[in-house]
């Protein structure tokens, strides 16, 4: 009986959960090919599911109009839910980016003038003018139907709450809870025995009902209904299965993601919570000690807000090619290695900065003495670019090491923001020694081990034991013994996959951007971007700053046994936790670095790479020993390439400078829905990196950022923006920087005293 039975079963209950998914078609494609915003869409299937205690029962409606008509007709019956008692929670997958736009469009069409759309009041917004809160919406809903919307990060990131005919509808995005595709969730559920093989995601021809010409909106709805009536059994299976997977994911969420809570706002929040098992960890990740919250934004140093000071030192993973090999086929044997769980290794093995120990600032470059041997301390150093060029870069023989440093640390106009690990890395790669350097400012921290090392150990054990047939004894993640005993404790695929997620998902969470763009309707209903208008809860950015800096040191550690000439000659490419090198230096790399299991050790991913070709950051290809072609092509689906040809032909035909690759893109159209349409991408080769920090480099960097700002489309670009270029790597916060106030803030001396008090309490 579908929806009616669901409403009857939930009578008197506070919440009713419905699972929904839609199918849409494109029309006006002729005009859309000329200008993609001219594409139009209409919904021809609205599948609604609910959990009957054993299964997900699905009813498929031809439109939102049909769903609303049935829902409100059933609501008039005495044996169904009432608006005074039951909230309807409607869960869809990735709906904030897609389905919600159709829900909003069609709900407006159904209710017409008897509906208003308002901006939702949010505590985290800098400005809440022209907004209403939930209580105000409830009162207003007695007079008319109300939709509350919020759009954070991107104008198409649409979050909805609706009050329709007295009923409250919460719209929940399942992707935010899982960070996983429906197809993958289906496999997880199948592996766990929660759905059958017949309920997995199937194939669907999405453009089967598309129309080339334009139609009136009324005609489009009529045509959509005609399409609905033509749906075949296999098409209906596809539609139902997506909703079954969605519903069973909600029901069995804590089974496929053990110990995770569906009520948490996002998947990353669950990862964070899985680590916070004591006060030390809470302080290291969140800057919280009991009820005391430490905010770097409350302090100043070096004529800057201290949060902004720390932020200048945070960098992500290194992604780099050897400029001499760009756009050239390397007809020489190569190999690749990768490190076992790079970031978890840092968090487990190293002591992390916790308490301010010393600091100072100067008006001119000033000599300070440093000690790189004592890992109980970690320091941040601000050097001016001229001094860095003169005292460090000029003394390095390797072109590649110079280029690495210039690319990686080119995020500040005047200064080079380096740290203890930077100097250790330079020392161990080049032989240069440092007992003193000239700086404008420094902050030194005392370090302690991560408070959740046991969580890392536990998850690494699950990850490792999960792929072994024999039992393993693991005293620590890098001290283990594989026994001859058959492993009888079998971890589920869910436990194994989650252990990997928990291990790799933490390092960057404390570095979450301080602000996001916030999009709101003005009084005329037009969306306006309030740049950096949404403030996130501050976490401990220093945690991520240290982890990524140590991971960079670890990434380049295998090169320490090479001469600087060999580094320039044999380094091909690196990406966060992997290295591609020429085989002729393989024998020189320290054997003690390698172990296929131990945390933080290296493993050989490809013993033999016959040929390799690097085009740009995250765009490279190589021919394996079995002659198959492996491709890395960030932003381009792998099925866009034809690998059924020789390696040379593949480069010539598919994967070269200015090559055109056809793939699908999505766009927010003039109709205010989302269209998926065929597009083309041009592949471009990278250009050589610089050897020194210069004014010309800074000007080119500013040109890159200006162009990115001009081309940035807050309607159609992804909310996570990361730019890799020859002048540096830049994030969204580099494009739209936010600087905190320094007025009425406390001096860093106060933070020093707070840290000392916390440290003394701990001892």
Extents of the domains making up the chain? 3-256, 270-657+688-763
Q: How many whole angstroms from its chain centre is CA 13?
A: 37
Contact present, 180 and 193 (Cβ < 8 Å): no
**Cα-flanking dihedrals φ and ψ of residue 458, to 5°?**
-60, -50
Separation between Cα atoms, residue 131 and residue 152, nearest integer Å: 14
pLDDT band, residue 159 (cuts 50/70/90): very high
Separation between Cα atoms, residue 381 and residue 397, nearest integer Å: 23
**Residue 461: helix, strand or coil by DSSP?**
helix
pLDDT, position 1: 61
**Residue 381: helix, strand or coil by DSSP?**
strand
The more confident residue out of 679 and 264 is: 264
Placement of tokens 């301080």 in the chain? 514
Separation between Cα atoms, residue 117 and residue 304, nearest integer Å: 41
Q: How is residue 141 annotated by DSSP?
A: T
Q: Where are the beta strands (DSSP E) in 290-350?
A: 292-293, 299-301, 304-305, 319-321, 329-330, 334-339
Instruction: Calculate mean pLDDT across residues 27-40.
Output: 96
**Cα-flanking dihedrals φ and ψ of residue 356, to 5°?**
-65, 125
pLDDT, position 734: 83
Contact present, 218 and 30 (Cβ < 8 Å): no
Q: Each residue of 694-735: pLDDT tens digit?
A: 999 999 999 999 888 887 765 554 444 568 889 988 887 888
Contact present, 479 and 599 (Cβ < 8 Å): no
Q: Each residue of 47-100: pLDDT tens digit?
A: 999 999 999 999 999 999 999 999 999 999 999 999 989 999 999 999 999 999
pLDDT, position 43: 98
Of 755, 667, 471, give the one whose Cα is nearest residue 29.
Answer: 667
pLDDT, position 733: 80
Q: Each residue of 328-385: pLDDT tens digit?
A: 999 999 999 999 999 999 999 999 999 999 999 999 999 999 999 999 999 999 999 9
Residue 662 has pLDDT above 70, yes or no: yes
**Residue 87: helix, strand or coil by DSSP?**
strand
pLDDT, position 555: 98
Separation between Cα atoms, residue 502 and residue 739, nearest integer Å: 32
**Residue 522: helix, strand or coil by DSSP?**
coil
Of 307, 318, 419, give the one whose Cα is nearest residue 733.
Answer: 307
pLDDT, position 356: 98
**Residue 423: helix, strand or coil by DSSP?**
helix
Contact present, 252 and 69 (Cβ < 8 Å): no
**Residue 296: helix, strand or coil by DSSP?**
helix
**Sequence-ordered list of residues with C-beta below 8 angstroms from that of 668, at least 6 positions apart, any chain:** 37, 101, 155, 156, 674, 715, 716
pLDDT, position 714: 58
Q: Each residue of 618-646: pLDDT tens digit?
A: 999 999 999 999 999 887 877 888 899 99
Helices 342-349 and 493-504: crossing angle in degrees, nearest 10, is 70
pLDDT, position 720: 46
pLDDT, position 600: 96
pLDDT, position 719: 44
Residue 549 has pLDDT above 50, yes or no: yes
pLDDT band, residue 492 (cuts 50/70/90): confident
Average pLDDT, whole number, for the chain?
A: 94
Placement of tokens 């399942």 in the chain? 174
Please report, in angstroms and rounded to a whole number, the separation of the first and last CA atoms in the chain.
Answer: 65
pTM of the complete model? 0.92
Largest CA distance in the chain: 84
**Sequence-ordered list of residues with C-beta below 8 angstroms from that of 329, at least 6 positions apart, any chain:** 611, 612, 613, 647, 648, 651
Token digits of residue 565: 């000439």
Residue 455 has pLDDT above 80, yes or no: yes
pLDDT, position 713: 63
The domain 3-256 is placed in CATH, from the list 1.10.10.10, 2.130.10.10, 3.20.20.140, 3.30.420.10, at 3.30.420.10
């Amino acid at each position: 009986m579908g929806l009616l039975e669901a409403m009857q079963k939930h009578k008197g209950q506070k919440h009713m959960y419905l699972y929904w998914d839609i199918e849409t078609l494109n029309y006006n494609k002729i005009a859309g090919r000329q200008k993609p915003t001219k594409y139009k869409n209409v919904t021809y299937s609205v599948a609604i599911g609910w959990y009957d205690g054993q299964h997900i029962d699905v009813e498929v409606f031809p439109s939102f109009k049909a769903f609303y008509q049935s829902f409100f007709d059933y609501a008039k019956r005495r044996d169904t839910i009432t608006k005074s008692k039951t909230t309807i929670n409607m869960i869809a997958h990735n709906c904030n980016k897609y389905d919600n736009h159709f829900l909003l469009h069609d709900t407006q069409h159904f209710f017409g003038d008897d509906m208003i759309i308002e901006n939702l009041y949010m505590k985290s917004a800098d400005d809440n003018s022209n907004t209403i809160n939930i209580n105000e919406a409830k009162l207003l809903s007695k007079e008319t139907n109300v939709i509350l919307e919020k759009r954070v990060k991107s104008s198409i990131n649409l979050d909805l709450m609706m009050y329709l005919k007295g009923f409250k509808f919460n719209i929940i995005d399942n992707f935010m809870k899982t960070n996983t595709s429906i197809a993958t969730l289906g496999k997880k559920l199948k592996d766990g025995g929660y759905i059958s093989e017949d309920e997995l995601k199937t194939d669907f021809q999405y453009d089967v009902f598309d129309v080339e010409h334009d139609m009136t909106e009324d005609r489009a709805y009529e045509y959509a209904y005609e399409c609905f009536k033509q749906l075949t059994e296999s098409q209906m299976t596809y539609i139902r299965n997506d909703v079954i997977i969605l519903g069973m994911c909600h029901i069995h969420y804590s089974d496929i993601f053990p110990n995770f809570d569906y009520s948490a706002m996002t998947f990353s929040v669950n990862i964070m919570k899985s680590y916070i098992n004591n006060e030390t960890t809470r302080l290291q990740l969140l800057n919280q000690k009991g009820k005391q919250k430490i905010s770097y934004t409350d302090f100043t140093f070096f004529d800057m807000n201290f949060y902004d000071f720390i932020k200048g030192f945070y960098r992500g993973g290194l992604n780099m090619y050897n400029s001499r090999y760009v756009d050239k086929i390397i007809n020489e044997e190569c190999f690749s290695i990768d490190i076992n769980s790079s970031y978890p290794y840092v968090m487990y093995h190293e002591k992390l900065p916790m308490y301010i120990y010393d600091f100072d600032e100067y008006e001119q470059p000033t000599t300070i003495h440093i000690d790189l041997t004592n890992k109980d301390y970690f320091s941040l150093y601000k050097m001016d670019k001229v001094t860095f060029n003169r005292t460090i870069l000029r003394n390095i023989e390797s072109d590649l090491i110079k280029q690495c440093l210039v690319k990686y640390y080119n995020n500040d106009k005047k200064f080079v923001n380096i740290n203890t690990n930077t100097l250790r890395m330079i020392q161990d790669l080049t032989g240069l020694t440092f007992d003193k350097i000239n700086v404008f400012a420094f902050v030194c921290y005392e370090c302690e081990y991560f408070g959740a090392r046991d969580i890392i150990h536990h998850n690494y054990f699950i990850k490792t034991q999960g792929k072994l047939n024999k039992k393993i004894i693991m005293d620590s993640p890098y001290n283990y013994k594989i026994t001859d005993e058959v492993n009888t404790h079998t971890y589920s695929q869910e436990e194994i996959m989650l252990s990997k997620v928990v291990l790799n998902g933490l390092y960057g969470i404390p570095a979450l951007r301080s602000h996001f763009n916030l999009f709101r309707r003005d009084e005329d209903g037009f969306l306006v971007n309030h740049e950096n208008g949404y403030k996130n809860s501050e976490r401990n950015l220093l945690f991520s700053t240290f982890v990524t800096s140590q991971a960079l040191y670890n990434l380049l550690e295998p090169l320490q046994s090479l001469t600087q000439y060999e580094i320039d000659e044999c380094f091909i490419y690196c990406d966060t936790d992997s290295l591609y090198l020429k085989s002729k230096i393989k024998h020189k790399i320290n054997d003690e670095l390698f172990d296929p299991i131990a945390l933080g050790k290296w493993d050989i991913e490809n013993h033999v790479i016959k040929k390799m070709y690097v085009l740009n950051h995250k765009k490279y290809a190589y021919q394996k020993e079995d002659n198959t072609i492996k491709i890395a092509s960030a932003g381009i689906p792998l099925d866009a390439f034809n690998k059924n040809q020789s390696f040379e032909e593949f480069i010539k035909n598919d994967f070269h400078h200015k090559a055109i690759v056809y793939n699908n893109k999505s766009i927010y159209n003039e109709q205010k829905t989302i269209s998926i349409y065929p597009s083309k991408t041009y592949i471009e080769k990278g250009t050589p990196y610089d050897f020194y920090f210069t004014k010309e480099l800074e000007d080119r960097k500013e040109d890159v950022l200006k162009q990115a700002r001009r081309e940035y489309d807050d309607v159609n670009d992804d909310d996570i923006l990361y730019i890799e270029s020859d002048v540096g790597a830049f994030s969204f916060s580099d494009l739209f920087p936010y600087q905190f106030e320094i007025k009425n803030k406390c001096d860093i001396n106060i933070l020093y005293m707070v840290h000392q008090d916390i440290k003394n309490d701990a001892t």
